[in-house]
Every structure is written in structure tokens, then in C-alpha cells.
Amino acid sequence: MIGRLNHIAIVVPDLAAASNIYKDSLGADVSIIHELPDHGVRLVFVELPNSKVELLHPLNDSSPIFAFLERNPMGGMHHICYEVQNIYKAVESLTRKGAKILGDGKPKIGAHGKPVIFLSPKEFLGTLIELEQV
């Protein structure tokens, strides 16, 4: 079902400073800042030859990322995103197998303008997993 690794997401306490570390210290290409009100985040993508790193920061204190940052003030890895060919078939298959899809269980549009879902880390070895339709 899962395909290529799309990105690894890291929550950061300061998005501008984190972007600069990737640009200046590591010489990476970093995207413009994207705001996703439906997900409660501001983010940038660090472009790599074979994948991306997503740097996340909360939009406000009601963001789920805000709670993560309160528990981990220095930030840290938040989730890993895999690509799937058909998100709706993936949801159907996962639901049939008893997997817990977070939120209302329906895909929402993610940072790349494509449907995404998140899977409970309790069922996936302690890792929050995002699936994104290609």
C-alpha cells in the first residue's frame, strides 16, 4: 500500500531560525512559509534530492503542534509521511483492518494540495504516520 517516503516532519520552536539553520549551515533549499489553518500549522519544506524535511510551527495555541512544543520545548520529530496511490482505498483498507485514522477519518487537503490522513501512533510502533495521495 505505501509507496515512497514523502517527508519527515520536525516541530521547531522558531520557524525562521530553523529555516536559516538548514539554509546557512546545511546549504539546503528551503521553501517559502506555508500556512495551513485547517491543520493549525505554519511550515516550510527543506528540499532534498530524494525526499523532503517539513519544519512545523504552531499557528496558535489551539494547534495540536502547540501541545507537542509544550511537551518538547526544543522541538523534535513529529511524523513521517508516505505516499499512497489512492487515499480513499487506503482509508477503506486500513479501516477494514481496524486501524485508527485520526480526526474524523476523512482525508483533508495537506500542504502539497493533496488529500492526507494521519494514523494513530498507538497502532504504528509509536510513530504518527501521514499518508498522502500522489
- Catalytic residues, by residue number, are 130
Whether 2 and 33 have beta carbons less than 8 Å apart is answered as: no
Strand, helix or coil for residue 93: helix
Q: How far apart are CA 116 and CA 6, in angstroms?
A: 12
Q: What is the secondary structure of 16-43 as a DSSP string?
A: HHHHHIIIIIT--EE---EEETTTTEEE
